[in-house]
């Protein structure tokens, strides 16, 4: 490739990304899921549009799985474990048992109504079984849902990729040789358990190291965190374990630890995840063959209706009822099982393995995702209001960013007081910070000043606090407590509740 060719590729790539960002902004304004815009952009660039040809299913699979790692990493980094902890049992059951139930029901319906062979029907059911983390994280975080309900949906979408990848991979391999049921069960248990252990180990090791090492530039912390998460994926897949479980758990641990430059790391991961989504959906749009899609419309509608109206509700009822999830929340869980990039990427696995009927599975999945995301995504706010599962919007939690001052054995903390925080009106002395900590500077309305003990804080203030390393966590907990409960937080506990 010449320098001129490279420049042209970079130019076209940058223009596509900018066009995708602009289209996503327009789509957000009219309530249209961004993934459909990106898929449409890929189709417009493809063989039926501008004529760009891309048919390498193996490359699409590799790039797709890599993009899913980054998207899943962002989901884990931005998931609040305090909210997700209570919802974890339901999320795990939905991500395992729920995937199996959905797969079997979709397979049975498509076998009887579409006359698919059992192997092809099971493959279609496995590909469509998981909810999509990118769609769930982007859509549901704009809804004021109770923490336990959003935790169930986010946790399910984070965990169920692993079970679905295992099912699709085993079914793709079973087209040539079918392993015994006992062997399959052993493989699944090993991959899930080993992936979980590797992910937790990578996350905990990362927390231990990053808390004790001062890197020469703040921009290295987000890169280090994402690199550790990718290491977890690579180590797990090398050990023949589930890389997606490892990624999500490593990201969950790192995202909920008090690391230097935590907010900056989450912002960086969000930007990388958006870039991965744009590239992923545009590539999948290029991979699709528009000439074949009309023939997949009727099978896709039958499959999609079976998934949305039968498989998803039954799996939710079977998984959530024993855990005493309220029926209104069950109704929303059933309707909010969004599909997106994950099923389309999974559909490239049998295509790459040259499984008979895999092209038809890919076309059906592509149409199901496009049509039912278009119908389901914008209806979620209406469904939440109808079922009465919306929660009162709470003030944003206080984000505290820390930078280590290694030579002084201290940390520089930065925090911006969000709207609605009860820090507004609190005077500096009422914060009752440890003696080894001090509010060194306040930036208000673009003007910086050194506060006095009687200075009252205001919403929008940015605080710069110098704290000895040993009291840093106490300072962060105290600030969050006062932000939630005001100056009486000392009597209400450090959580402010």
The per-residue pLDDT for 249 is 92
Give percent of the chain with pLDDT exceeding 70.
Answer: 88
Does residue 437 surpass a pLDDT of 70? yes
Which has more confidence, 46 or 33?
46
pLDDT tens, residue by residue, 140-164: 666 777 878 888 888 888 788 788 8
pLDDT per position as a tens digit, 367-411: 888 888 777 777 787 888 888 887 665 555 666 666 666 556 778
pLDDT band at 274 (very low <50, low <70, confident <90, very high): confident
Q: In DSSP terms, which residues pair with 117 in a beta bridge? A: none
pLDDT of the residue at 230: 94
Average pLDDT over residues 480-485: 86
Q: Please say if the pLDDT value at position 176 is more than 70.
A: no
pLDDT of residue 48: 65
Determine the Cα–Cα distance for residues 94 and 89; give it in Å rounded to an integer.
9
DSSP lists the bridge partners of residue 449 as: 442
- Per-residue pLDDT at 117 exceeds 50: yes
Confidence at residue 111, expressed as pLDDT on a 0 to 100 scale: 92
User: Is the pLDDT assigned to residue 282 strictly greater than 90?
Assistant: no
Q: What is the pLDDT of residue 496?
A: 47
Which residue has better confidence, 401 or 237? 237
Tokens of 116: 């698919």
Per-residue pLDDT tens digits for 185-215:
777 788 888 999 999 999 999 998 888 777 7
- The pLDDT-based confidence of 497 (bands split at 50, 70, 90) is very low
Q: What are phi and psi of 229, to 5 degrees?
A: -65, -40
Number of helical (H) and strand (E) elements in the chain, helices listed first: 20, 5
**Each residue of 179-188: b (16+ CB within 10 Å) or e?**
eeeeeeeeeb
Rounded mean pLDDT of 263-291?
82
d(CA 144, CA 141): 8
User: Are residues 111 and 125 in contact, defined by beta-carbon separation less than 8 angstroms?
Assistant: no
The answer, as to whether pTM is greater than 0.85, is no
Q: Is residue 179 over pLDDT 70?
A: no
Phi-psi region of 40 (alpha: psi -120 to 50; beta: other; left: phi over 0): alpha
Average pLDDT, the chain: 82
Q: How does DSSP assign 266-294, residue by residue?
A: HHHHHHHHHHHHHHHHHHHHHHS-TTTGG
Q: How many CB atoms lie within 10 A of CB 378?
A: 14
Measured distance CA(332)–CA(412) in Å, rounded: 43
Domains of the chain in sequence order: 54-387 (1.20.1530.20), 400-492 (3.30.70.1450)
Rounded average pLDDT over 226-235: 93
Q: What is the pLDDT of residue 107?
A: 93
Neighbours of 216 (CB within 10 A): 6
**pLDDT bracket for residue 229 (50, 70, 90):** very high
Which DSSP string corresponds to 18-66? Answer: HHHHHHHHHHHHHT--HHHHHHHHHHHHSTTTT------HHHHHHHHHH
Joined together, the tokens standing for residue 416 give: 């911006």
| Residue 177 pLDDT | 56
CA–CA separation, 243 and 422 (whole Å):
42
Identify which of 222, 199, 252, 204 has the alpha carbon closest to the alpha carbon of residue 79. 252
Q: Is the pLDDT of residue 316 over 90?
A: yes
pLDDT at residue 42 greater than cutoff 70:
yes
How much is the pLDDT for 348? 86
Task: Quick: pLDDT tens for 1-28.
Answer: 565 567 777 787 787 778 777 776 766 6
> Which pLDDT score is estimated for 395?
54
Q: Using CB atoms within 10 A of its CB, is residue 26 exposed (0-12), middle (13-18) or buried (19+)?
A: exposed
| pLDDT tens, position by position, 319-372 | 999 988 889 989 998 888 777 778 888 888 888 888 888 888 888 988 888 888
Confidence at 238, pLDDT banded by 50, 70, 90: very high
């Amino acid at each position: 490739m010449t320098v001129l060719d490279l420049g042209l590729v970079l130019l076209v790539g940058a223009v596509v990304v900018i066009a995708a960002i602009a289209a996503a902004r327009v789509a957000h304004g009219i309530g249209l899921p961004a993934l459909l815009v990106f898929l449409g952009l890929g189709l417009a660039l493809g063989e039926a549009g501008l004529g760009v040809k891309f048919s390498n299913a193996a490359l699409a699979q590799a790039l797709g799985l890599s993009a899913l790692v980054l998207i899943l990493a962002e989901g884990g980094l931005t998931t609040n474990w305090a909210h997700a902890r209570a919802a974890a049992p339901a999320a795990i059951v939905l991500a395992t048992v729920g995937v199996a139930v959905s797969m079997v029901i979709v397979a049975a319906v498509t076998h009887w109504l579409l006359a698919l062979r059992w192997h092809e029907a099971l493959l279609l059911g496995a590909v469509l079984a998981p909810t999509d983390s990118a769609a769930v994280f982007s859509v549901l975080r704009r809804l004021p849902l109770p923490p336990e309900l959003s935790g169930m949906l986010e946790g399910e979408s984070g965990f169920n990729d692993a079970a679905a990848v295992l099912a699709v991979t085993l079914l793709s391999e079973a087209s040539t040789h079918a392993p015994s049921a006992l062997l399959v069960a052993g493989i699944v248990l090993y991959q899930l358990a080993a992936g979980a252990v590797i992910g937790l180990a990578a996350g905990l090791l990362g927390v231990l190291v990053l808390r004790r090492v001062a890197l020469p530039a703040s921009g290295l912390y987000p890169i280090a965190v994402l690199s550790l998460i990718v290491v977890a994926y690579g180590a797990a897949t090398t050990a023949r374990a589930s890389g997606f479980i490892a990624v999500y758990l490593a990201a969950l641990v790192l995202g909920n630890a008090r690391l230097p430059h935590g907010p900056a790391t989450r912002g960086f991961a969000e930007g990388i995840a958006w870039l991965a989504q744009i590239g992923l959906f545009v590539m999948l749009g290029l991979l699709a063959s528009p000439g074949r899609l009309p023939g997949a419309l009727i099978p896709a509608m039958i499959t999609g209706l079976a998934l949305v109206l039968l498989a998803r509700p039954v799996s939710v009822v079977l998984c959530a009822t024993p855990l005493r999830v309220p029926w209104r929340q069950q109704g929303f869980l059933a309707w909010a099982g969004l599909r997106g990039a994950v099923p389309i990427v999974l559909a490239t696995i049998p295509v790459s393995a040259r499984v008979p009927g895999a092209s038809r599975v890919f076309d059906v999945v592509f149409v199901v995702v496009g049509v039912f995301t278009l119908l389901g995504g914008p209806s979620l706010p209406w469904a939440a209001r109808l079922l009465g599962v919306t929660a009162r919007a709470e003030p944003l939690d206080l984000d505290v960013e820390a930078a280590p001052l290694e030579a002084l054995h201290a940390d520089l903390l930065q925090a911006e007081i969000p709207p609605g925080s009860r820090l507004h009106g609190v005077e500096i002395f009422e914060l009752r910070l440890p003696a080894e900590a001090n509010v060194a500077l306040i930036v208000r309305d673009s003007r910086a000043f050194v506060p006095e003990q009687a200075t009252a804080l205001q919403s929008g203030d940015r605080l710069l606090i110098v704290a000895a390393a040993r009291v840093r966590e106490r300072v962060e907990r105290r600030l969050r407590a006062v932000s939630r409960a005001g100056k009486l937080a000392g009597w209400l506990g450090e959580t402010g509740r």
